[in-house]
Structure 1
Amino acid sequence: MEPTRTISPGIVVEQQKLELKRSISLFHCVSLMCSVTGHVSVFVAPTAILKYTGSIGLSLILWVFGGIMNLFLALCFTELGITPFYMDCEPNDSAVRLFAIWILVTFVAVNCVYVKFVTKVQSVLTFTKLLALLLIIICGAISLLQDGSANLSEPWEGTESKPFTVAMSLFFSVFTYGGWQIVTNLLEEVKDPGRDLPRAVYWSLSIIIVEFTMANLAYYVVLSKSEIMQSTTVALLFFERFYPPLKPVISILVALTAIGVLNCSILGHSRIPFAASRNGQAPLLFSMISTKFMTPWPAIFLLTVWSIAMLLSGALFTMIELVSLFSILLSLSVVVTLLYLRWKEPDMPRPYKSSFRTSLKRTDTILANA
């Protein structure tokens, strides 16, 4: 029933609740999650896990383990979210930042105008990420057939046994897959969240786990351990060794992937101040929606100003470190809240219910990393 308001005796006005439009389908959920999960880490920085594990074999195991742990956590977020309760030359740094701001402002403008168009564009940008990973995997397979697997002859050589070092590798393996959480911020705009979100979690994370693991295996076929550990752009080094003319291709694909991640982040993270404002936890301004385009303009503008400030201040990596800590606390609070509600409200209607063992396993992992 629509809320009503009496303005004078005998005159009652119906008030329509202003809400975000439900325009995100299952396909769009999968597309968003595939694009944003892991960001571009698999192309530039698989070095950290190898550095801490010391061996190819253990690093590949942890790539799979980290993906599975994120799958478990995503299912916990899903249940809680839909449960009804509360080139070689170095470019000029300034030019790079200005170019980044231009891309940011462009996609902010698009996100302000039409969410449905944004999700369609995102489907194309997601394809560039999957294509880049597939290209790496195919090139690795070709190299394996042509030159053999000398780099994989001793996969367990150099394996670390120190508990702290292994724990750090575990931390990187889990958080390398970060980013999928933004989809839970879009629940109000998903057409059927109870049905589509669990499916999107299973499909997208399964795709990403397989492709990330196979891409890392391809890296190990072409590159030595020392080359990977010394590189900050592993994907470019991979193609430099395999077939240099493909370097511009992978550069373009990775750049488009990064733009896709930005697009997802604008779409998802802007909904946090919007939701907080509606719940009375942030200024009322950020709960306002454009009546023409049905998108939260003030919340998007807030995110834009903050992003530009981080970009120009040079404090981006400090921010990343703080976000990593926040991510641990957030994940722990979600799992603990889920367990508490299972205990206190066992009969609460739940469109989706994750495995109880999943929640406990994820809690143990988070506490170990913390």
Structure 2
Amino acid sequence: MARISVGDQNLVPRNVFGEKSPPPLSVPEDDGNVRSSSDTVESTGGVKLKKEISLLDGVAIIVGVIVGAGIFVSPKGVLLYSGSIGQAVIVWILSGVLSMVGALCYAELGTMIPKSGGDYAYIGVAFGPLPAFLYLWVALLILVPTGNAITALTFAQYLLQPFWPSCDAPYEAVRLLAGLITCILTVINCYNVKWVTRVTDIFTGTKILALLVIVGAGLWYIFAGNTEQWAAPMHGSLFSPGYIALAFYNGLFSYSGWNYLNFVTEELKNPYRNLPRAICISMPVVTLIYVVTNIAYFSVLSTEEILSSDAVAVTFGHKMLGFMSWLMPFFVACSTFGSLNGAIFASSRLFFVGARNGHLPAAISLININCLTPVPALIFLCILTLALLFIRDIYALINYVSFVEALFTLMSISGLLWLRRKQPNTKRPIRVNSVLPFIYLLTCGFLVISSCYVSPVEVGVGTAIILSGIPIYYATIYKPIAFLRRISNDINMLCAKFFICMPNEEKFD
């Protein structure tokens, strides 16, 4: 077993404040493998993440992360901004198609740049360290912990729903349970990657079963002749570009997570083959399930019932399942449990890679020498999520998160086109038709611009947070402040000893 001593300089290979920071990421023209400056020097006895994710695990991660809180929260938001059930179904279909187009573009990026970190790695290769840091900055403050907090809160609300059938569960009970499950899943992720994939596989099956129950009950209801909800499906449709954009934001929120497998590329077996296969299998399945689930919702529940409910699936269960209605909140809780598990696993690797590249304190890039998991990154993410559990307006938060995510996804897809021009000879195991990234760029551009008119407050705050990362970058990375460097080194040494960790050995197969 490797020993960790106080004087071991290997514990500080690089840090966020500029000491021994690596150069910007690059893609060599010859073999397509991404390398850093550490590949040219002798190994210093570090450790690295293990490749334990199979194709089935990859599909389970994508489906498990996507099918979570969104399908049980967003139907209300999509209907609210669509104005009619017909337009809402169209939004669900087009959101799935758009997510599939984006996922295929990310398959090209992920096989061309086989590094964990997803958008962070791609933006860094295409546009340099500052834009990559800004993505990491907003992911740190908004995207990742907010998404995890929403999923944890949805889990708690649905699990407690049977105990308070006629009213909302107490605020404190919901937050306490959400915090508890976040901590439990963090411990599982710290202990063993195989445990994580097993939990994901099991609960992916559970959530698919829950949605099949909804679909089956809805089809039975329709075949019994109850089609009055579809008499005028487009009545009341809202065609204002701003409202259409907000409807798509809520729909795309339910599909968010299609790029999470790109966050863990280094742990995926044979990523050149399994990454695109996992995407092509999982995305059509999710889209089909989502569309038929919403058709079931809209067939059984009236527009007024859906808009007045914060737990659409539970309201559906009360109306259709009778004395077995308690199954629905249980299934939904299982679904969000699996989704949160997959999100914690994948998103923690984003911060791990950011720290490894010198954009966060080096302590976050340490790996436990016994479990070979990024324990400090997982604990760091857990703390951020716990801090954001005191959220009341989930729907405003969805609009807020979706704007920032759409903006940086737009940048990643732009990077794909830029790299085709900048590095035309780079090995690309997958090359999608140029029409697909252009379609995605135009659609995301429309969503970003339209949201400026309908949700100026959310857009303004999101933009301010993005821009606030610029002085942080120059103060901590470009021209580091001495006392911050010392603090980073001290934290790095403390985490290494406390969590029995060592630096990552940056080698890619």
Please list the CA deviations of residues 163-219 of structure 1 after superposition, one character each: whole Å capped at 9, or x if unmatched. Answer: 332232233323331122221111110011111111111111111100110011111
| Structure 1 residue 57 displacement after superposition | 1.8
Q: How far apart, in 2, do the equivalents of 1:4 and 1:66 lie?
A: 46
SS, match of residue 346 in structure 1? coil
Total equivalences in the alignment: 362
SS at match of 1:338: helix
- Which structure 2 residues correspond to residues 280-291 of structure 1 after superposition, within 5 A? 280-291=358-369
Q: In the aligned structure 2, how far is the partner of 1:268 from the partner of 1:26? A: 15
Q: CA deviation at 1:292?
A: 0.9
Matched to 2:383, the amino acid is V
Contact 1:113 1:295 in 2 (8 A): yes
| Residue 134 (structure 1) aligned with residue 212 (structure 2) | yes
Superposed CA RMSD: 2.1
1:336 aligns with 2:365: no
Gaps of 5+ in 2: 1-38, 114-121, 126-161, 449-509
* CA distance in structure 2 between the aligned counterparts of 1:115 and 1:231, rounded to whole angstroms: 37
State how far apart, in whole Å, the 1-side matches of 2:365 and 2:73 are.
Answer: 37
CA deviations on 1:51-73 (whole Å, 9 max, x unpaired) are: 22222222111111000101111
Structure 1 segments, 4+ long, off by >4 Å, are 2-5, 14-17, 312-322
Moved more, 152-161 or 187-196: 152-161
Deviation at 1:234, TM superposition (A): 1.2
Q: Which moved more, 1:229-238 or 1:357-366?
A: 229-238
CA distance in 1, matches of 2:395, 2:380: 20
Equivalent runs, 1:1-370 vs 2, <5 Å: 5=42, 15-16=44-45, 18-84=47-113, 86=125, 87=162, 88=165, 89-312=167-390, 320-370=398-448
Q: Deviations over 1:289-315 (max 9, x none)?
A: 011111001111100111111125769
Unaligned runs of 5+ in 1: 6-13
- The change in CA–CA distance for 1:181 and 1:4 in structure 2 (over 3 A counts) is closer
Q: Aligned partner of 2:249: which letter?
A: F
Write the distance in 2 (CA, Å) between the matches of 1:335 and 1:39: 25
Tell me how far apart the structure 1 counterparts of residues 293 and 336 of structure 2 sit (CA, whole Å): 17
SS in 2 for 1:45: helix
Q: SS in structure 1 opposite 2:47? A: coil
TM norm structure 2: 0.67
1:39–1:179 Cα contact (<8 Å) kept: no
Q: Percent identity, please.
A: 32
Q: Is the 8 A contact 2:204 2:338 kept in 1?
A: yes
Q: Tell me, in whole angstroms, the C-alpha distance in 1 between the residues paired with 2:398 and 2:252.
A: 15
Distance in 1 between residues matched to 2:252 and 2:175, nearest whole Å:
29
Partner SS for 1:351: coil
The answer to whether the 8 A contact 2:249-2:402 is kept is: no
CA distance 1:106–1:18, change in 2 (3 Å): same
